[in-house]
Amino acid sequence: MNTLVQVARKTFIVALSVILLPMSIAQAKQNDQTLVIDIDPVTSCALTVTLADPEDNNCNKLDKNPCKNVKDCICSVKDKKIIWKADSKYKYTLHFHPVTSAADLPVNPNDDFELELTPFKEKNKDDGCSSTLVTSDEGVIDCKVKNKGTWDYDVKVEGCAEGFDPRIVIHQ
């Protein structure tokens, strides 16, 4: 009987490894994302928010790209950074709006993600961006991902009457 239990346990561990390995490999392939905010010098308004290196697009590494038909959308995972860069002469603010509701998220007791108003860690922990409203410091905002979900955010540049609204999708 003990041998049967040991064989069953080893079989279970091997099966679990086979299931979890592709998920961990997919997450390991995810990179920090650096975004460039293109600001019109005449109107002081954000025109686009694009990846600094389009070849480094995390969304393209997924089986199902959640940003396929969404303009200026990026994908990330927990513990990766998202960095926004703009010309340092412009002061800009990012204002996050969660699109995902708690009902949309799968329940997993081993999952330490939380549904929050921002996808990032607290400011005093790893220099994250815990506020729903984050202002640039010399043209750069650097945040570390904590929470899964989907967020739209406004890029509001000082001197521009309107905002620009890209999207972030954080997955496991």
- Residue-wise pLDDT tens for the chain (172 aa)? 556 545 445 444 444 344 433 443 444 488 999 999 999 999 999 999 999 998 889 999 888 899 888 888 999 998 899 999 999 999 998 888 888 655 554 444 445 444 567 788 765 554 557 677 788 878 898 888 888 888 888 899 999 988 878 888 877 5
Residue that has been written with the tokens 């412009």 in this structure: 90
Pair type for strands 140-144 and 81-85? antiparallel
**pLDDT value of position 83:** 93
CB 98, CB 150: distance < 8 Å: yes
**pLDDT value of position 157:** 93
CA distance 121 to 2: 46
**pLDDT value of position 46:** 92
**pLDDT value of position 47:** 92
- C-alpha 172: how far from chain center: 10
**pLDDT value of position 19:** 42
CB 171, CB 148: distance < 8 Å: yes
Helix H segments across the chain?
2-28
CA distance 156 to 91: 9
27, amino acid identity:
Q
DSSP 137: B
Q: pTM of the prediction?
A: 0.71
**pLDDT value of position 103:** 53
- No. of helices (H) and no. of strands (E), the chain: 1, 9
CA distance 156 to 106: 33
CB 92, CB 151: distance < 8 Å: no
Residue that has been written with the tokens 């091997």 in this structure: 14
Q: Looking at the DSSP assignment, which residues form a beta bridge with residue 144?
A: 81
**pLDDT value of position 16:** 37
**pLDDT value of position 128:** 55
